[in-house]
Amino acid sequence: MTCCEGWTACNGFSLLVLLLLGVTLNAIPLIVNLVEEDQTFKNPISCFEWLFPGIIGAGLMVIPATTMSLAARKRACCNNKTGMFFSSLLNVITVIGAAYCMMVSIQALAEGPLICNSQGNRTSSCEFSFKKLTAIHPEESFDLQWFFEDSCVSPTDFNNPSINTTASNWRTYSLHFNSIENKQRIIHFSVFLGLLLVGILESLFGLSQIVIGFLGCLCGGVSKRRSRIV
């Protein structure tokens, strides 16, 4: 196996691991919601897991490039100019999917879970549009205040008895790990921070494969059999 094929196979294995990790992370808040509420669309942790950044962006859109790259281990497809060209082309889709995953994750980390933003946290309050993903501007301050505050739920919100608090027991409640608010904040933060890292790594591996595939095309193929020396 040449260096191009070796790097391609390494990229394929890395993308496979990241693909599975992205799908798993995206599924966590969906499974938690289904298990606890016994209803898929009631009281979701946030709207952003329903945009499927890990399942679509970091998952399905990465499968073609992963399959092509892993085939390099057996010299099945990445052994000529055409194979390396398609390897680079498919990794463009990987980079686009990773960018989508990162955009959704950044937006989710900026806004926080629904419990911090909406009193009626149901999917009916979610706005499923790609326009919303461009709502963050570089000039705006980006922080995680909703996560590091004692609580992101207003103490005057008595609509939900599970988050009913008073000024006297505010800090005691906020430090209680088993509270619904803290559980959703931790899940939301962990999931989308993980998806952000997955998207960054996938984009790096995808870009590296685009470069190595382009170099493979210029070098006239990567698996030319050596003639025997008599």
- Distance from C-alpha of 76 to C-alpha of 91, rounded to nearest angstrom: 17
In a domain, 132, yes or no: no
3-state class (DSSP) for residue 157: coil
Q: How far apart are CA 8 and CA 4, in angstroms?
A: 6
Q: Domain count for the chain, please give it.
A: 1
pLDDT digits (tens, 9 = 90+) for 10-35: 888 999 999 999 999 999 998 887 77
Tokens 């790594």 label which residue? 201
Residues 6+ apart with CB under 8 A from 78: 4, 5, 8, 68, 69, 71, 72, 84, 87, 213, 216, 222, 223
Establish if 194 belongs to a structural domain. yes
Distance CA 205, CA 49 (A): 24
| In-domain check, residue 224 | no
Distance CA 60, CA 93 (A): 10
Q: Do the domain assignments include residue 163?
A: no
In a domain, 161, yes or no: no
Give pLDDT tens digits along the chain (230 positions).
445 677 888 888 999 999 999 999 999 998 887 776 655 556 678 888 989 999 999 999 999 999 988 887 665 555 567 777 888 899 999 999 999 999 999 989 988 888 887 655 566 567 666 666 665 554 454 567 777 777 777 655 444 444 443 333 434 444 445 677 888 889 999 999 999 999 999 999 999 999 988 887 776 555 544 444 43
Residues 6+ apart with CB under 8 A from 44: 29, 33, 50, 114, 121, 122, 123, 126
Q: Is residue 157 one of the residues assigned to a domain?
A: no
Q: Could you tell me which residues come within 8 angstroms of residue 30 by beta carbon, excluding any fewer than 6 positions away?
A: 40, 49
Describe the crossing of helices 81-111 and 63-70 by its angle, rounded to 10 degrees: 140
Residue 122 in domain: yes
Query: pTM for the whole thing?
Result: 0.78
CA atoms within 13 A on the CB side of 113: 23
Asked if the structure places residue 111 within a domain, the reply is yes
Domain hosting residue 186, numbered range: 3-126+144-150+168-218
* 41-51 pLDDT per residue, tens: 566 788 889 89
Opening angle at CA 85, ends 80 and 90, nearest 5: 130
